[in-house]
Amino acid sequence: MLLLIGACVDQGCLVYEYMENGSLEERLLQKNNTPPIPWFERYRIAWEVASALVFLHNSKPKPIVHRDLKPANILLDYNFVSKIGDVGLSTVLNSETGSISTAQKDTGPVGTLCYIDPEYQRTGLISPKCDVYAFGMVILQLLTAKPAMGLAHVVETAIDNGKLIEILDSAAGNWPIEETKELALLGLRCSELLRKDRPDLKDQVLPVLERLKEFACRARESVPDFQSTPPNHFVCPILKVCIYNLELPSS
């Protein structure tokens, strides 16, 4: 989750940690000619976002539903570590047991078109499965870098016709087709129209993403030209070199 640093009451604003690489949406679209995100980093980002959602959904004493998960609200730091922001629409479920299967009635559907749970739109019932639907759309966009509108149908059709490779974001590098197909199918399961057909995030989705993340980490280490860079606060602003051992005067 994005770290809240402080607030300004007079100006009515919140101050969050600075995320050097902007939003996931900006990077997928390569705005301002920014370099693309490699496929192995996208695998890791999917796992990080799912982990954050599991944390929210299992909050005690009551689960929290984000309600507006989308690439624009997933921010990337200097090392492309992803964090979820914009919690303005988040809801704490009024559950006595704190069960993540709980649903409650809302006054009216809110969120962003294409990421709103269709069942929530129809019934007004909020559930953690609302976030699962949006997360499924995020997975599909991580793979294709395409707009969310009608994307599930595009991906499903491509898989059925054996043409998944044709719709993947080629800027991400050479996708491992079998693992990527598994991730695409997981995204489709998460974005099922009916909540009962969507997998449990903690018990069914996260273990798959954990395994795919480990696979991606091994692939990342084999890329000779890819090197992670240290965060800005480890780099000397004058010499522009990494500070390994910082010595402070005793007095």
Residues labelled as active-site residues: 68
- Alpha-carbon distance values, 58 to 12, 54, 55, 95, 219 (Å): 30, 6, 5, 12, 32
Q: Report the range of poorest mean pLDDT among 50-59, 63-72, 107-116.
A: 107-116
Q: Say whether pLDDT at 94 is over 80.
A: no
Q: Helix axis angle, 39-57 relative to 128-144, nearest 10°?
A: 170
| Per-residue confidence (pLDDT) for residue 234, from 0 to 100 | 55
The C-alpha angle 202, 38, 111, rounded to 5 degrees, equals 50
The mean pLDDT of the chain is 86
**Mean per-residue pLDDT, 21-32:** 94
- Superfamily the domain 22-222 falls into: Transferase(Phosphotransferase) domain 1 (1.10.510.10)
Measured from the Cβ of residue 192, the count of other Cβ atoms closer than 10 Å reads 18
Name the pTM for this structure. 0.83
